[in-house]
Amino acid sequence: MKKPAIFVFISIGILLIAVSALIVLSISIDNHTRREAYTFNLEETVGTWNLLWEKQNLHLGWVLPRNQFVATMNTLCYVGPQEDSLFHQISLICVNIHDGKQKWIGQADSGSSIESDEKQVYVGGLSVRAYNAENGQKVWGRGVDARSITGVTAYNGFVNVRATPNQFSVFDANNGTLQVEDSIPFITPHSFASDEQKIFEQFGGQVGALNIQDDTLIWDIDFRNELLYRSVFSNGFIIVRSGWQKGTIHVIDSETGRQIWEKEGIASDFGINDTTLFFVTTQGEILAVDLETGEIQGRLILNGGELNTQGNVPNNTSYIVRTVDDVVLVYLGDTGQLFSFRYANE
C-alpha cells in the first residue's frame, strides 16, 4: 500500500522540477531578448512631442505584430495579460489614449486577431466578437465553423474573417449577420480597402486595385515575394510595409499604382495622422514623414542605439505605431514600453 503513495510523491517531485526548469529557461530566454528601457534624446528633437503617459513592462507574449494594437475613438486596445489578474489572464484591454487609464476589458484568446473601424473593435480567436470602442459593450458575437481565426479586417460596414482550415466569412459590422461563407485556397487575395471605383487587395507579395463593378484588374505591383506586413489606404495613397523585423515603407498612388517614394530600414509598422506617416527606424528614430513627399517633418531619437531587428527574435519584440488625431502611440516590444505623445509640426 505504501508503494503507490511513494510513486505519487516521486511523480509530483519530478513534475515540480520540470516546471521549475521550464520557468528558468523561459526567464533566461526572455532576459536574453530584452534590453534596458529606452529614454529620449530631447536635444535633437524635430517637431513637438509632448509625452502624455507611458506604460512599462507591457510584454504581450507570442502574438502576431500586425494584430497587437488598434486605436479608434480615443481608445487604444491590445491583446495582453491583465495586470490585476492572479494568472495574468489574456484579454482584450482597452485604455484611454490621453491618460492611459483602463476603460474596459473584453474577452480574447492568446494570439487573437483584432481590428477596428470608426466605432467598434473586433476580436477573432475561437469566435468573432464586436465591442463598442467607447464603453466596451458587446455588440454581437458569432461562431465560425473552423478551428481558429487567423485574420480579421473591417471596412465599408463589413467584417472579413479568415480562419483555418481555408475558411472565409463576411459579417455585417452592425449586427453580425452572416453575408458570405466559403472555402478558400491557402493563399488568396485579401481585400483591405476600397474607394468609389476600386477595391484594393493584397495577394502574397502583390498589391493591386480592381474595378469595383466587374473585378477587372486596374493595376498591380509585385514586391518580389516579400512578406507584406501591412497595407493601408489613406488620402489617395496605398501605404505598404514590406519585410519582417527590418523592412521598407512604400507609398503608392492609388489611382495609377505608381510608387511615389519608399524608405528602407524600418523597424515598426506605421500609423497615419491625416497626411503624416509615423514609424520607427532601425536606427532608433521615431519619424513623422509627409505622406505625399516622404519629407521628414518630425524626429524623436531613442537613446540606446540600434533596435533589435534580427529575423529570429520572438514576436514580442515587435515595434508598433498607431495614431488617433494628434496622438501618436508607440510600442517598443523588446523593453515592453508603450508611449503616448501629442505631436505637432514645428
CB 315 within 8 A of CB 64: yes
Does 308 score more than 80 pLDDT?
no
341 contact partners, CB below 8 Å, separation of at least 6: 49, 50, 51, 52, 300, 327, 328, 329, 330
213-234: pLDDT as tens digits:
888 999 999 987 677 778 899 9
Beta pairing partners, 268: 319
Dist CA 223 CA 315 (whole Å): 23
| Least confident interval from 78-92, 223-237, 307-321 | 307-321
Give the closest residue to 191 by CA, choosing from 157, 149, 160, 221.
Answer: 160
H/E stretch holding 15: helix 2-33
**What's the rounded mean pLDDT across residues 69-77?**
91
CB contact burial 128-143 (16+ within 10 A = b; e otherwise): bbbbbbbebeebbebe
Q: Which pLDDT value is given to residue 295?
A: 96
CB 186 within 8 A of CB 175: no
Q: Which pLDDT value is given to residue 259?
A: 95
Q: What is the pTM of this model?
A: 0.82
| Least confident interval from 49-53, 87-91, 322-326 | 87-91
Q: Which is more confidently placed, 49 or 57? A: 49
| Grid cell digits, residue 7 | 510513486
**What's the rounded mean pLDDT across residues 254-275?**
93
Beta pairing partners, 222: 206
140-166: pLDDT as tens digits:
999 877 667 777 888 889 998 887 777
Does 326 score more than 90 pLDDT?
yes
Q: Which pLDDT value is given to residue 102?
A: 93
Q: Which pLDDT value is given to residue 27?
A: 40
In terms of C-beta distances under 8 Å and separation of at least 24 residues, what long-range contacts does 278-287 make, across chains too? Answer: 278/321, 278/323, 278/328, 278/330, 278/343, 279/241, 279/249, 279/321, 280/307, 280/319, 280/321, 280/330, 280/332, 281/307, 282/246, 282/306, 282/307, 282/309, 283/307, 284/38, 286/49, 286/321, 286/328, 286/330
**What's the rounded mean pLDDT across residues 162-187?**
81
